[in-house]
Structure 1
């Protein structure tokens, strides 16, 4: 007769533990549904957290940023700027309408079910925001900057330094209208890359001094980091630091006329 311990091993388990009966098909289905719901809930929660604090997709609603972005492109916007990372001249930013910049937008009705699904997916970040109530432009002036149009070569000037802007749409001038403004503290001067067809800071500044057309930084949703759709145009959106590298800090104005290289040309005195 085998020892008691050996009997336990040969029987396939510890003494007193009965083998579990196999689950029925209905039981397996219930477990699978439970696991699916748990995974879906985790995915939706994670997506909502990412959309709220890190990144969010947006549709491009107009032609104002051509040729960098065209209508119906989709971009990924980082919500870490402004925040842990500061805004810089040249950044492409998405911001809420400061007030009457946008005309009333007709709501596309896809039926109650699809409208609800789209709103829910947009809320949790699984569907790109349609950009209704938001605009996308490029930062040209930071708080305290003096932005002017234009020098004798038709270029914008920031703090007295002329800048060459490779992102401006081919065939467009840096600005059709002359202006000279100082960006208020806590705000930004923004312009579209399609300068001839962009209702930007220039066109919302009736005061002519920057106080009306500048955008409060508090309205900035984030910085557009990458063009992600259509896939054949997938690219990172640069801030063109070379354009602004010679521009002095806000509040510092160079003397004399800017040369083509961007260096100020003094009068020799």
Structure 2
């Protein structure tokens, strides 16, 4: 191999490395600002989302639209659902972070749940017929996992302004706001902790498709929903 060929091959590898770096950097910017991908690690949102789903999440939807009862939100659980300081060591944490970024591992601090109550709502379990009550009105929940009760644990809460009461659709296996009633914050999650809204299942292929928001008939009309402040 002559010197010209060596130089050409070296330049070729440099272009490949530069292209890879640019793709990774561009992907990081997109995922931190507009769209991200999350892996669903548990059964808590079945049948809407199942273990192993990879979902595309919009980070900007709630900057211009309101968070309403029935919405499914992806949120940062640190300070509410997850401890502020967690980790298994720098190496294990680094490997796990890479897995989360690649969409093959679930995050220890990011959760997905359904909004049951917004600021000002009075949420109670349960009515005489076993349904949840929101502002004194029994609520139908067509998204519940087949055979599940609305809740097997009683609660009676008023959601503060700027907070959300969140529950999984598979109530019998979901650790959610009910599990944190005795903790600081009482199971409420700040609206500012919402990362975004799941838009579409990307994988597995047989489940590929859009994730619809709740219809107007699924949302009790009082009081009005809240809007997440633009970041």
Fold match (TM-score > 0.5): yes
Please report how far the alpha carbon of residue 126 of structure 1 lies from its aligned counterpart in structure 2 after TM superposition. Answer: 4.5
Q: Which residue of 1 is the match for residue 16 of structure 2?
A: 36
Q: Distance in 2 between matches of 1:129 and 1:49?
A: 20
Structure number with higher relative contact order (C-alpha < 8 Å, ≥ 6 residues apart): 2
**Local SS of the residue matching 1:56:** strand
Please report how far the alpha carbon of residue 91 of structure 1 lies from its aligned counterpart in structure 2 after TM superposition. Answer: 1.7
Q: Which residue of 1 is the match for residue 27 of structure 2?
A: 47
1:126-163 residue CA offsets vs partner (Å, 9 max, x unmatched): 54562112221111111111222233332222223332
**Local SS of the residue matching 1:131:** coil
- Describe how 1:157-236 pairs up with structure 2 within 5 A: 157-206=133-182, 212-236=186-210
> Greater Rg, structure 1 or structure 2?
1
Give the aligned CA root-mean-square deviation in angstroms. Answer: 3.2
Residue 139 of structure 2 corresponds to residue 139 of structure 1: no
TM-score normalized by structure 2? 0.81
Runs (4 or more) in structure 1 with deviation over 6 Å come to 103-106
Structure 2, unaligned runs of 5 or more = 226-231
Q: Distance in 2 between matches of 1:193 and 1:156?
A: 13
Structure 1, unaligned runs of 5 or more = 1-22, 252-269
Q: Distance in 2 between matches of 1:246 and 1:101?
A: 26
Q: Distance in 2 between matches of 1:72 and 1:126?
A: 13
Q: Distance in 2 between matches of 1:172 and 1:48?
A: 39
